[in-house]
């Protein structure tokens, strides 16, 4: 099947049709997923809507090669985590699908990447060469083609000077960073940003005391002088991202959907406004598995947006937006 056809989805009906097509394709071409479906006695003849589709536990990416393609692996992205933990591996056979997904996803919510100067404060990620987040941000920095776009590792002084210079020039700027590094920056200098927006990409990774999300955002709003803090919801096992423009409420691009499962019965999908486990359909994962049961808790609002409400108690702290709200 043509993986790029997912980017033409423009309605719920088109999403459902494409999701069922991807399910059938992965059932036939992904040995791990096929075995999982067999255990649940779920075959394409039993699946008539997206709520019938089985979702593999995200942990499968730690112990199995989750692939629906026989093509050569171009890149393997590895999750963050503690040194001794088992890390998820997401094998990518077509990086162009990932690149199209994160570019079109960003454009849907924020406009063209080339309109922004992108300042990335991702020190802990840059220590790893196999991070999907670093790959995405590096590509966006290249697309932005602005002289000041780039990674700012521990250079808070240089980052402060660049931010103030861009503010004076009234240049649209995205400051993207991990939470603890953004806190380090506002402890170094208090800003009053008018032409920049701030996006956090997840937790403290053991560098600082964990804060609940509302506390973190209150500190960041004050320190940067902005009305809201944006967030990105993504993970190694996904090739698409959801975005929040504030208040922890996320929207997905047209080829991505979130469903909520019952925490006591993983095969039961809950109605809107009910809290449960987050299931993600990411059709950009056409060559791995598009149907993933995460360890995150959330609920879907009546308008289709979703809230991230934390993690299952027993799940290990992995660093990607794990802070409890």
According to the model, what pLDDT value does residue 319 have?
41
Domain ranges across the chain: 3-81+256-311, 97-233
Does pTM top 0.85 for this prediction? yes
> Per CATH, which fold does 97-233 belong to?
Rossmann fold (3.40.50)
According to the model, what pLDDT value does residue 80 have?
79
- Rounded distance, CA 137 to CA 158, Å? 19
- Rounded distance, CA 274 to CA 264, Å? 13
Highest mean pLDDT among 287-291, 305-309, 313-317: 287-291
End-to-end CA distance of the chain: 40
Beta-bridge mates of residue 314: none
**220 DSSP 8-state letter:** H
Q: Which two tokens stand for residue 60?
A: 């499968």
Note the pLDDT tens digit of each residue in 93-123.
Answer: 999 999 999 999 999 999 999 999 999 998 8
- Rounded distance, CA 22 to CA 216, Å? 38
Q: Mean pLDDT, to the nearest integer, of 73-91? A: 87
**46 DSSP 8-state letter:** G
Please, which pLDDT band fits residue 206 given cuts at 50, 70 and 90?
low
**269 DSSP 8-state letter:** B
Q: Is 280 helix (H, G, I), strand (E, B) or coil?
A: strand
| CB neighbour list of residue 62: distance below 8 Å, 6 or more residues apart | 86, 87, 88, 89
Q: Which two tokens stand for residue 220?
A: 């960041």
Beta-bridge mates of residue 260: 278
Beta-bridge mates of residue 297: 277, 310
């Amino acid at each position: 099947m043509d993986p790029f056809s997912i980017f033409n989805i423009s309605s719920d009906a088109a999403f459902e049709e494409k999701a069922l097509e991807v399910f059938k394709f992965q059932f036939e071409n992904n040995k791990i997923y096929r075995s999982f479906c067999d255990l649940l006695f779920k075959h394409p003849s039993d699946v008539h809507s997206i709520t019938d589709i089985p979702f593999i536990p995200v942990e499968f990416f730690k112990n199995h090669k989750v692939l629906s393609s026989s093509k050569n692996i171009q890149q393997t992205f590895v999750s963050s985590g503690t040194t001794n933990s088992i890390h998820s591996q997401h094998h990518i056979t077509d990086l162009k699908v990932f690149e199209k997904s994160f570019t079109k996803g960003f454009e849907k919510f924020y406009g063209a990447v080339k309109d922004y100067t992108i300042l990335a404060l991702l020190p802990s990620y840059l220590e790893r060469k196999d991070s999907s987040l670093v790959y995405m941000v590096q590509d966006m920095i290249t697309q932005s083609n602005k002289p000041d776009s780039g990674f700012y590792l521990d250079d808070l002084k240089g980052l402060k000077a660049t931010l103030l210079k861009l503010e004076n020039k009234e240049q649209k700027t995205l400051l993207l960073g991990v939470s603890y590094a953004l806190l380090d920056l506002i402890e170094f200098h208090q800003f009053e940003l008018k032409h920049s927006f701030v996006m956090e990409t997840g937790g403290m990774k053991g560098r600082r005391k964990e804060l609940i999300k509302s506390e973190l955002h209150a500190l960041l709003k004050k320190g940067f002088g902005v009305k809201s803090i944006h967030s990105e919801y993504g993970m190694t096992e996904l090739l698409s991202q959801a975005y929040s423009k504030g208040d922890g409420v996320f929207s997905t691009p047209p080829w991505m959907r979130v469903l909520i499962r019952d925490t006591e019965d993983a095969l039961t999908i809950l109605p809107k406004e009910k809290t449960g486990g987050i299931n993600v359909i990411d059709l950009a994962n056409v060559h791995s598995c598009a149907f993933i049961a995460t360890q995150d808790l959330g609920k879907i609002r009546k308008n289709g947006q979703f809230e991230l409400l934390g993690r299952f108690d027993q799940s290990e702290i992995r660093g990607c937006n794990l802070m409890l709200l």
